[in-house]
A and B are shown apart, each in its own frame.
Chain A
Amino acid sequence: DADVTQTPRNRITKTGKRIMLECSQTKGHDRMYWYRQDPGLGLRLIYYSFDVKDINKGEISDGYSVSRQAQAKFSLSLESAIPNQTALYFCATSAPGPRQETQYFGPGTRLLVL
């Protein structure tokens, strides 16, 4: 079984709709991250969380919100989706301590906003 899972894997939605992307992990890591990937732009950090009570904005948080429901779950919401939020979204985890700099990625959610 995969250590970091994302649901759904693919999603098509319409402009103005609210959508939630979910991430779950069985690695026991405290730290979780949401990125979006766009062709030619690499990965950009949206939000990150170092524990259940800690939420931090990343480079491109506008138009997004997150919820850390438990150590193992971190959800990303688009309150009112717009076409330029069409992208590939990745969740990642890492552990605090000596190996905190290594992140483990989920398989991604491909989102299309029409």
Chain B
Amino acid sequence: AQSVTQLGSHVSVSEGALVLLRCNYSSSVPPYLFWYVQYPNQGLQLLLKYTSAATLVKGINGFEAEFKKSETSFHLTKPSAHMSDAAEYFCAVYRDDKIIFGKGTRLHILP
């Protein structure tokens, strides 16, 4: 069965530093993969998605993720963190017409 594992429930980075949020998936076939973001007191919104068209996927707000089949990973990165990036991030996989979410990583931005 397909699922995702997010490494680190909390990640802290300094403003201007690289953001790296880790996600590994388990799947026997190339999956559809997503990153969703949840800002405080809001619902989730799609940040980016991988659908096998390209391994490097660019999303909103300067985020991108790279699908690496050899590592079964789909890590989310941003070169320079902003205070407004503080939020919870969810990696997810599409399976049987449903989305299976990881447990989330809360990103803290230090001034």
Contacts and interface: CB of A to CB of B under 8 A. Distances in A.
A45 interface: yes
Question: Which interface class (under 10, 10 to 19, 20 to 34, 35 or more) fits B?
Answer: 20 to 34
Interface string A77-101: 0000000000000101000000011
A51 B41 CA distance: 29
- The binding surface of chain A is classed by DSSP as strand
Contacts of A107: 41-43
A101 B103 contact: no
Contact of A50 (B42, B51, B97, B101): B97
B43 A4 contact: yes
8 contacts: A33-B98, A40-B9, A40-B103, A42-B90, A43-B90, A100-B97, A101-B49, A102-B49
B101 A101 contact: no
Give the most central of A44, A58, A101, A102: most B CB within 10 Å.
A101
